[in-house]
Amino acid sequence: MRLLYAVALAALAVSGQTGMRDRYFARYPFDQWLAEPEQSQLKWSAHVRPAKLTAHQRMASRIEIEIDEREIAKRRGRGELVTLVQIEDASGKRWRIHNAFDLARIPPDAKSHPLLYAQEVFLVPGDYHVALATCDSQTREYSFVRRTVHVGEVHADALAQAGSDLPAVEFVRQLDMPDSWFQPYIRGRLHVGMETKRAIHVDLVMNLTPSERASSSLRVFRRNMSVLVPSLKVLAAMEVPNGTLDVTLLDLTRQKVWEQKSARGLDWSKMREPLADNQPGVIDVQSLAAKQRMAQFFRDQVVDRATAVAGREELRVVIVLSAPAFLEHQFRLEPATLERDPNRKVFYLRYRPFFARTSPDGTVSVGSMPPDDLEHALKPLDARVLTASTPQDFRKAVASMLADIRKM
């Protein structure tokens, strides 16, 4: 029943606009509360968590407001509980967002429990004043607090200039998957430049197929996509002033390909289709015959993109983005003899979310990443393997990759 109640409240929540245009604030004397001492007429708690680097390569803080279950129990059946959030930067510019929970539509047999509102917000380095309030729309009782948050620079930042013109504040929307991974309403864009003296063509290839050791686990697939899709978004927006960039999504199980040519950012309306699949690794009968050729299909797709077209002088770069993939019962790969080509580089950016193991004595360690089947398939192309378990690792890997490309 607790889960059902939480789902019901989530369905009844109405997210507000961002910036100072959130008209919901006009219903409440929020500006008056700002000028008065803090209040606690409703039993609640409010926290602003320290900012950290996310898979979107943006610093983010998490705002949490929890309203006591006794407040929910005595107010259920009429009105709304409204949460109001305002963030102000050092220059005095303000951003606002609200959420409203419809108390009149809580199931009558639902057991009361605390109501948690969480809001993630992207912030650029600096100091911010945060004002948080919750109010009963019927009784007008409210609680109000002030908090501060300091956002530091990314430590030893390998892409220090990439966020030079990001908006100071952007609220992250609470969306369903796969949109929650991509965040289509976030407009801030990192400027990651790929500088070369010669013309260049870049192919960005992301593997959607989960490792067969976890192919039946929707949880593992979603965990991987929660870091791979934001990373794809960053890489697809790379600036290639002296060339072009194509994006390809590969489903190795079904041997399907989705492509976006000459990308200047990911076309989410087109490329979200395969990511909306709720049954990763599940294939139809017609595709079973090809299942043992997944590794070969993968290599063929990369080789096609890495091999220079006759008569063209441009540099060729292929960037493969994937979680570690271990494919069961594969046919032996066909021999591949490719001459070394100084105009070609292949990178395998293998990104697995942080996974820690705790030993019996309490020691915490990060599991290593052994060579996987995609790495083996890329050996004839002399691919450079870059591994990442955290957003900071990914940032360093991208900087290292760009440094290699500049030397071509």
Beta bridge partners, 67, equal 44, 115
CA 117 to chain centre: 20
280-322 residue pLDDT tens: 656 665 666 678 899 999 999 999 999 866 557 899 999 999 9
Q: Spell 70-98 as b/e; 16+ CB within 10 A means b.
A: ebbeebbeebbbbbbbbbbbeeeeebbbb
Residue where a domain terminates, one of 158, 174, 190? 174
> Could you tell me if 68 and 212 lie in one domain?
no
| In a domain? residue 22 | yes
Asked if residue 372 is part of any domain, the answer here is yes
Residue whose tokens read 């510019």:
93
Is the pLDDT at 50 greater than 80? The verdict is yes
What's the domain count of the chain? 2
Q: Are 317 and 345 spatial neighbours (Cβ–Cβ below 8 Å)? A: yes
103 and 46 in a common domain: yes
Beta-carbon-side half-sphere exposure of residue 109 (alpha carbons within 13 Å): 2
**Same domain as 138, residue 63:** yes
Beta-ladder partners of 80 = 102
- Domain residue limits at 110: 2-174
Same domain? 250 vs 155: no
- pLDDT tens-digit map of 351-399: 987 655 555 665 555 556 788 999 999 999 999 999 999 999 999 999 9
Q: Does one domain contain both 207 and 325?
A: yes
Is 181 domain-assigned?
Answer: no
Task: Count Cβ atoms within 10 A of the Cβ of residue 308 and give its class: 0-12 exposed, 13-18 middle, 19 or more buried.
Answer: middle
Is 25 part of a structural domain of the chain?
yes
- Residue 53 and residue 320: Cα distance in Å, rounded? 23
Q: Is residue 216 part of a domain?
A: yes
Strand, helix or coil for residue 114:
coil
Mean pLDDT, range 202-231, rounded to an integer: 85
Q: Are residues 215 and 128 both part of a single domain?
A: no
At residue 11, the pLDDT reads 36
User: Do 279 and 388 reside in the same domain of the chain?
Assistant: yes
Report yes or no on 195 lying in a domain: no
Residue that is last in its domain, among 174, 208, 236: 174
The CATH number of the domain holding residue 88 is 2.60.40.10
Average the pLDDT over 89-95 and give the result.
Answer: 95
Q: What is the CATH number of the domain that holds 324?
A: 3.40.50
* Inside any domain, residue 184: no
* One domain, residues 170 and 276: no
| CA nearest neighbour of 315 among 251, 215, 405 | 405
Phi, psi of 381 (to 5 degrees): -100, 5
Mean pLDDT of all residues in 8-16 = 43
202 pLDDT tier (thresholds 50, 70, 90): very high
Tell whether 151 and 221 lie within a shared domain: no
For residues 117 and 245, membership in a common domain is answered with no
What are the structure tokens assigned to 290, written together? 């090809």
Q: pTM for this one?
A: 0.89
Q: For CA atoms 230, 236, 237, 240, give the dihedral sign.
A: positive
Instruction: Give me the DSSP letters along 147-192.
Output: EEEEEPPPTT-TTTTTTTT--SEEEPP---TTHHHH-TT-------
Instruction: Say if residue 169 is in the same domain as residue 207.
Output: no
Asked whether residue 170 falls in the same domain as residue 205, the answer is: no
Residue 20 has pLDDT above 70, yes or no: no
- Between residues 353 and 231, which one has the greater pLDDT? 231
Q: What amino acid is encoded at 372 in this protein?
A: D
215 within some domain: yes
Other C-beta atoms lying within 10 Å of the C-beta of residue 176:
7
Higher pLDDT, 328 or 54: 54
